[in-house]
Amino acid sequence: MSETNELGILEQRRIEAEIIKPIYDVLVREVGIQKARDVIEEAIGQAAIDAGKAFASKEKQRTSIESFAALQYLWEKGNALEIEVISKDETKYEYQVKRCKYAEMYHEVGLGDIGFLLSCNRDAKFIEGYAPHIALTRPNTIMNGDGFCDFCYEVKTPNS
C-alpha cells in the first residue's frame, strides 16, 4: 500500500473501538471493572508489542529513532494529532501533542474511561516491540486530562 492509501491509525482505532466496546461491557458485567480493565490492558499491550515487531521486521537495517520517526505519519494521518517537535536527532525524538483526536474519538464512542488503555498505553509497548533499545517517557497525556502529551523517545544508555 502506498502512504496515501494506507488506513491511518486513528481510523484503525475507531474500527477496533466498535469491536472492543461490547466486549468490554460484557467483561465489566461478568468479572467487574478492574478485571475487565486488566484484561483489556494485557490484550492491547501484547497486540502493540506484536505490531512493533511486525513494523521492525520490515526495516532493512536496525531500527532507530530515525526509522521510528519516519513512521509517525501513520499516527498523524487525518490530522489525528497536532504536534510540536521539540528535538529530533539520532538519540532522541521529543515532541508535544497539542490536540489528540484519539482522545476525542474514545470519548465520543463511550470508551473515554479506558481510552488510556486502548491508545496511550500502546505507545510504550509498541516501541518495546519495535526497538527495545529505545525508551519512552511521557508523564502527561491529554487522555488523562492533561493539556498536552509530552513524548520523549530516547536511546537507552547502558545504565538505563
pLDDT tens, 86-107? 999 999 999 999 999 999 999 9
- Fold (CATH) for 9-155: Muramoyl-pentapeptide Carboxypeptidase; domain 2 (3.30.1380)
Q: What global pTM score does this model have?
A: 0.90
Distances (CA, A) of 7 to 19, 81, 95, 135, 149: 17, 15, 23, 26, 23
Domain ranges in the chain are 9-155
Question: How many other β-carbons are positioned within 10 Å of the β-carbon of residue 41?
Answer: 16
- What digits encode the pLDDT tens for the residues 4-29? 457 889 999 999 999 999 999 999 99
pLDDT band at 160 (very low <50, low <70, confident <90, very high): low
